[in-house]
Amino acid sequence: MTQRLIPIGLLSLICTACEPIEIHVTLEDAAAPSPDTAESPNSEVSSPEEPSAHEEPNSWEPVAVPENELNCSDLPAYEGSLAISSQEDLDALTNEYGSINDLTLEGPDISSLEQLRCFSEIEHLIIDGVSASYLSLDEIDNLGSLEVHNSQLQRINIPNLEQTHRLWIFDNPHLQSIHLPNTVETTGRIRIYDNLSLNNLNLYSLHETIELRLRDNSSLVELDLPWLQQVSGHTEFSGNDALERIDLPMLSTVDVGLRFEENPALQSISLPMLEATGGCLTITESPLLSEVDLFSLVYVGDPISSHLSSSRLLITETGLSLIELPNLVSVGQNLDITQNEILESIELPSLVQVNNHMNILSNRSLNDLSSTFGLEDVGGNINISYNPHLPSTQAEQLVWNDLGEENVTGSVQTVNNHSTEGAAPQTCTGEYQSVADGLVFLEGDERFIYETQVDTCPQHIELGDGSTWSLQGSCSCE
């Protein structure tokens, strides 16, 4: 009968309560509203109909939005495009027209965008370097593209927007809030970069987008996208210094790469429904990261993806004690798990194939690889080295006994792991007692158990029948 050692103290990362919720974050030292903000009362306040933090909605519903209290009369459309750099010219436009194809607003002379709240249609809107503190487009439900950069804006509010092609918001140092609660789809890219004060990002209704990149937003603490299901392009969360939690409970497919990089405060990543990435999956330079839920992940590099050549699985410099990917079957290119200081165990029980190199290097606390022994094929080199607490016998068993030299295309290296030479033989026999009830030991609850490929008798063993045994007597090895 095959026995296996049960590691003690390992934490399960399987998500049991992934609630699709919206969380608003407000910094205590947020700037006081400016006069321009004060005259815009229709701000991004959650309505009572919006799901609370303690409710798990059964299906998505639009977020209710208060009616625009301005007296917006029906005005004709301006046919054509305009670039405006003065407040006087903007006021003249909004007094005479109620929609426009393309509008560019640029320069510090533009100090108020209040009258844009009555515009019913703008195909493309570019805001560059304005001094206004608040943008609200209350009447717009479809916007071709929005670009906001180098501005003094503190809030962006487009409560009824359902679809847009492109959303680029970057280099706005005072921007604290982006409120698009009813945006369901973007047919282009969402890029939100270098907004140093951003602490509230509301994309509650987002279901699908082509690309999603959040980079260098140093005040954003939490990210919840409860209805996001598919990203057709790249997905990136990087350089967000205060970001502690990323929760994407419905995301099932990322067609290109998925990157979590250089988020020094990040503690938790939850993607319990993610089944495949077309390209890479990288989790790097997040020393506080202690929880990752990728329970449903089957492929890093979907076999039918055109991005298979870049499908690397990289986990490095994290605070994880356990890497658990229970359903992962294959990695399209390299598998690299390196320099995770407190990583103790790697559990990849379903992993069958790594199409290129496999590197498990310099994980100071790693002591268990046994659940990776189902691996059948490695298309490149294997290097399992410089893991000072990993028994060298485990590395060697994975390569030579379970995988087999004939199933490794490249070279093999297993050096500077924990050597057991001269310390203990490979087969140990111990006297064990059943601890199933913890109270009464009967005659049948005592037995000898043999363990192979170990340094000494393990303290606790779970047998194939589910019974648990604890070492009580002597241990002999030969």
- Indicate the SS3 state at residue 411: coil
* Residue 27 pLDDT: 34
Lowest mean pLDDT among 72-76, 321-325, 345-349: 72-76
Give the domain range for residue 437: 423-477
292-317 pLDDT, tens digit per residue, is: 999 999 999 988 888 888 899 999 99
Domain final position from 196, 220, 244: 220
Residue 16 included in any domain:
no
CB 357 within 8 A of CB 334: yes
CATH of the domain at 143: 3.80.20
Residue 339 included in any domain:
no
Domain final position from 220, 252, 277: 220
Domain final position from 160, 190, 220: 220
106-148 pLDDT, tens digit per residue, is: 999 999 999 899 999 999 999 999 999 999 999 999 999 999 9
Give whole-number Cα distances, 146 to 13, 33, 143, 200, 306, in Å. Answer: 38, 23, 7, 18, 30
Rounded Cα distance, 376 and 199, in Å: 46
Angle (nearest 5°) at CA 191 between 187 and 196 = 155
175 versus 5: which is more confidently predicted?
175
Angle (nearest 5°) at CA 61 between 55 and 64 = 95
> Phi and psi for 316 in degrees, rounded to 5?
-145, 145
* Residue 448 pLDDT: 61
323 class by beta-carbon count within 10 Å (0-12 exposed, 13-18 middle, 19+ buried): buried
CB 458 within 8 A of CB 5: yes
- The pLDDT-based confidence of 446 (bands split at 50, 70, 90) is low
Question: How many domains is the chain built from?
Answer: 2
Residue 299 included in any domain:
no
- Indicate the SS3 state at residue 326: coil
Residue 175 included in any domain:
yes
What's the whole-model pTM score? Answer: 0.75
Closest among 104, 219, 218 to 151, alpha carbons compared: 104
Residue 92 included in any domain:
yes
- Indicate the SS3 state at residue 372: helix
Residue 412 included in any domain:
no
Residue 62 included in any domain:
no
* Residue 283 pLDDT: 98
For residue 90, give the DSSP letter. Answer: H
Rounded Cα distance, 355 and 379, in Å: 5
Q: Is the pLDDT of residue 28 over 90?
A: no
Quick count: other Cβ atoms within 10 Å of Cβ 56?
13
Which tokens is 320 given?
Answer: 């994880």
- Mean predicted confidence (pLDDT) in 436-443: 47
- The pLDDT-based confidence of 235 (bands split at 50, 70, 90) is very high
Residue 89 included in any domain:
yes
- Listing DSSP states for 188-254 in one string gives EEEEEE--TT--EEE-TT--EEEEEEEE--TT--EEE-TT--EESS-EEEE--TT--EEE-TT--EE
Per residue in 447-473, is it b (16+ CB within 10 Å) or e — as a string?
eebebebbbebbeebebeeeeebebee
